[in-house]
Copies of this chain bind each other. A is one copy, B any other.
Amino acid sequence: MLNNVKREIPKTIPGFGDVIPFKGVWQHMPMIHTAPVSLVPSGKGTVKKLHSIEQALDACELKDGMTVSFHHHLRNGDGVLNQVMEAIDARGLKDIHVAASSLFPVHAPLVSLMEKGTVTRITANYMLGPVAEAISNGKLTYPVVMQTHGGRARAIEVGDLSVDVAFIAAPACDLAGNLNGVEGPSACGSLGYAVPDAHYAKRVVAVTDHLVPYPANPIEISQEWVDFIVEVDSIGDPEGIVSGSTRLTRDPLGLNIARKAAQAIEASGLLVDGFSFQTGAGGVSLAVAAYVREIMRQKKIKGSFASGGITGYMVDMLEEGLFRSLLDVQCFDLQAVNSYKQNPAHQFMSASMYGNPHNRGAVVNQLDVMILGATEIDTDFNVNVTTGSTGIIMGGSGGHSDTAAGSKLAIVTTQLLRGRLPIIRDKVTTVTTPGESVDLLVTERGIAVNPRRKDLEEKLNEAGIPTTSIHQLKQMAEERAGTPDPVAFEERIVGVVEYRDGTVIDVIRQQKQHFK
């Protein structure tokens, strides 16, 4: 069957189950029933601290076939997933499902566990590196499930993703299990993505390298959710956890795109008092923020909030009074961590509060403008940030689909070519975010408005901003770089791309094996 973005989706996918095909951005909004949680209550005098991860596996009665979850605030510096999986491997467990909010190159040891059958299922919102490559090459028994940040919270809350044991990397933790991300050698800031895991897993283990006296302060995840505490030498490598600082692009092409995007935002009429904004941490995104900042200063506009993964750049705008508050699910750099620690206007949000489409209203629904990236975009404005030009997994939605769906103006900024390959395609390799939720494409050669947004096109034209069609932009790129050959795949499905509402928006097939 064809889903709403014209992708051929099987009715049933082996190892995944029955499929609800993607129906459109806000079309799957059923009555929601959250999952009951089964837990062991802790009485007076309970000692939660165990001696080792090994002992925690015993205490949690971890068995073949169970699901273990991890959060990714320590990013490529994370040491918890590998330590836990090593302990799981050591006891010869099989058929484990790893539900990690994201996976990074540091998680390469998972590859051999996939090969051995220790790990046969993986669910993640984003993955980059050896694990992603191995999955693309067919090394995981069952298809990987790619979710969004909001969709993962949804799946956990309703039990679509049922977690047996959640391992929470805790930069600071007290002996009752109150924990935060702002203290200790592995401080990473907000622990927003770990909240659904803590609230819905059957067993919750806090893994820390920094025990603090009771009660921890602040408390991001509180003691009533934590079963066990394990102290380890180190939960992560600070080098990989946060970058020292996030930088604006200096590339003239990138700056040109950013300036155009800012002009479009101004022309949209949204850049008024109460303005809200989110960007990623990429150089062009930050340059858009810089241009927007300049306009806000000149026009004395007081914004309401910036959200998402928070960068130092957004902290500067908060401190300058351009926003009243930051809503932070994850800190991208040290400046953000410090601000989150010290400034009460820099507030915590959970993954569900951030982007779950099936709660009573997520923060993304309050967003005016979202700046998005794209690996590919097609002439229906569908965006791929999941697979690279060779079809290999090298990303995933993260918050891409969530913010696109929620924001009033979702802008994709990209150059027309990347590595000599045109970004605009007739058909993206993988649909991550449906074109229905993307309003504008800004490139160095021009701006294309989604035909669904005639109102926006009129506003841009009234402001003297020329627009063109996405087809014309595609043609310009192809005149310079030719038409790329479509990627060839094997038949086997190695990944299922879930839209944030749990419907299936696309599948990922195995890489063609050239060297069999």
A residues bordering B, Cβ < 8 Å? 26, 29-46, 48, 176-177, 204, 213-215, 217-219, 222-227, 274, 276, 304-305, 324-325, 327, 344-345, 347, 349-350, 352-353, 356-363, 365-366, 405-406
User: Which chain B residues border A304 with CB–CB below 8 Å?
Assistant: 213-215
Rounded to whole Å, the gap between the CB of A504 and the closest CB of chain B is 19
Using known A-B contacts A218-B344, A224-B356, A345-B217, determine if residue A37 contacts B29 with beta carbons closer than 8 Å: no
CB-based contact B39/A34 at 8 Å: yes
CB-based contact A324/B217 at 8 Å: yes
Using known A-B contacts A304-B213, A327-B215, determine if residue A46 contacts B365 with beta carbons closer than 8 Å: yes
CB-based contact A344/B217 at 8 Å: yes
Using known A-B contacts A40-B31, A40-B32, A213-B274, determine if residue A360 contacts B177 with beta carbons closer than 8 Å: yes
Rounded to whole Å, the gap between the CB of A339 and the closest CB of chain B is 14
B44, B345, B363: the one contacting A406 at CB < 8 Å is B44
CB-based contact A353/B215 at 8 Å: no
Rounded to whole Å, the gap between the CB of A334 and the closest CB of chain B is 20
Using known A-B contacts A46-B361, A204-B360, A325-B215, determine if residue A366 contacts B32 with beta carbons closer than 8 Å: no
User: Which chain B residues border A44 with CB–CB below 8 Å?
Assistant: 26, 365, 405-406
CB-based contact A176/B344 at 8 Å: no
The winner among A46, A226, A360 for most chain B CB atoms within 10 A is A360
B32, B176, B362: the one contacting A38 at CB < 8 Å is B32
User: Which chain B residues border A356 with CB–CB below 8 Å?
Assistant: 224
Distance in angstroms between the alpha carbons of A213 and B30 in the assembled complex: 30
Using known A-B contacts A215-B305, A215-B327, determine if residue A222 contacts B349 with beta carbons closer than 8 Å: yes
Q: Which residue of B lies closest to A274 (CB)?
A: B213
Q: Which residue of B lies closest to A305 (CB)?
A: B215
Distance in angstroms between the alpha carbons of A406 and B41 in the assembled complex: 14
Using known A-B contacts A176-B366, A215-B325, determine if residue A361 contacts B36 with beta carbons closer than 8 Å: no
User: Which chain B residues border A227 with CB–CB below 8 Å?
Assistant: 360
CB-based contact B43/A26 at 8 Å: yes
Rounded to whole Å, the gap between the CB of A146 and the closest CB of chain B is 22
Distance in angstroms between the alpha carbons of A175 and B4 in the assembled complex: 32
Rounded to whole Å, the gap between the CB of A154 and the closest CB of chain B is 9
Distance in angstroms between the alpha carbons of A213 and B304 in the assembled complex: 8
CB-based contact A365/B215 at 8 Å: no
CB-based contact B359/A42 at 8 Å: yes
Q: Which residue of B lies closest to A358 (CB)?
A: B41
By secondary structure, the A interface counts as loop
Using known A-B contacts A41-B360, A224-B362, A344-B344, determine if residue A325 contacts B217 with beta carbons closer than 8 Å: yes
User: Which chain B residues border A305 with CB–CB below 8 Å?
Assistant: 214-215
The winner among A45, A48, A215 for most chain B CB atoms within 10 A is A215
Distance in angstroms between the alpha carbons of A48 and B26 in the assembled complex: 17
5 nearest A-B residue pairs (beta carbon): A42-B361, A224-B359, A41-B358, A34-B37, A26-B43
Rounded to whole Å, the gap between the CB of A267 and the closest CB of chain B is 22
Given contacts A29-B43, A223-B363, 4 further A-B contacts (CB under 8 A): A39-B360, A215-B347, A217-B344, A218-B344
Distance in angstroms between the alpha carbons of A35 and B361 in the assembled complex: 21
Q: Which residue of B lies closest to A276 (CB)?
A: B214
Rounded to whole Å, the gap between the CB of A481 and the closest CB of chain B is 36
List 7 A-B residue pairs with CB atoms under 8 Å apart, sorted by A's residue number. Answer: A34-B36, A41-B360, A215-B324, A217-B324, A217-B325, A224-B352, A225-B359
CB-based contact B32/A41 at 8 Å: yes
CB-based contact A33/B26 at 8 Å: no
User: Which chain B residues border A359 with CB–CB below 8 Å?
Assistant: 39, 41-42, 224-225
Q: Which residue of B lies closest to A346 (CB)?
A: B217
Distance in angstroms between the alpha carbons of A39 and B350 in the assembled complex: 19
User: Which chain B residues border A324 with CB–CB below 8 Å?
Assistant: 213, 215, 217
Distance in angstroms between the alpha carbons of A169 and B214 in the assembled complex: 31
CB-based contact B219/A347 at 8 Å: yes
User: Which chain B residues border A40 with CB–CB below 8 Å?
Assistant: 31-32, 360
CB-based contact A35/B36 at 8 Å: yes
User: Which chain B residues border A405 with CB–CB below 8 Å?
Assistant: 44
Rounded to whole Å, the gap between the CB of A92 and the closest CB of chain B is 28
User: Which chain B residues border A32 with CB–CB below 8 Å?
Assistant: 37-41
Distance in angstroms between the alpha carbons of A176 and B352 in the assembled complex: 14
B26, B31, B43: the one contacting A365 at CB < 8 Å is B43
Distance in angstroms between the alpha carbons of A358 and B40 in the assembled complex: 8
Q: Which residue of B lies closest to A222 (CB)?
A: B353
CB-based contact B347/A224 at 8 Å: no
Using known A-B contacts A345-B217, A405-B44, determine if residue A176 contacts B361 with beta carbons closer than 8 Å: yes
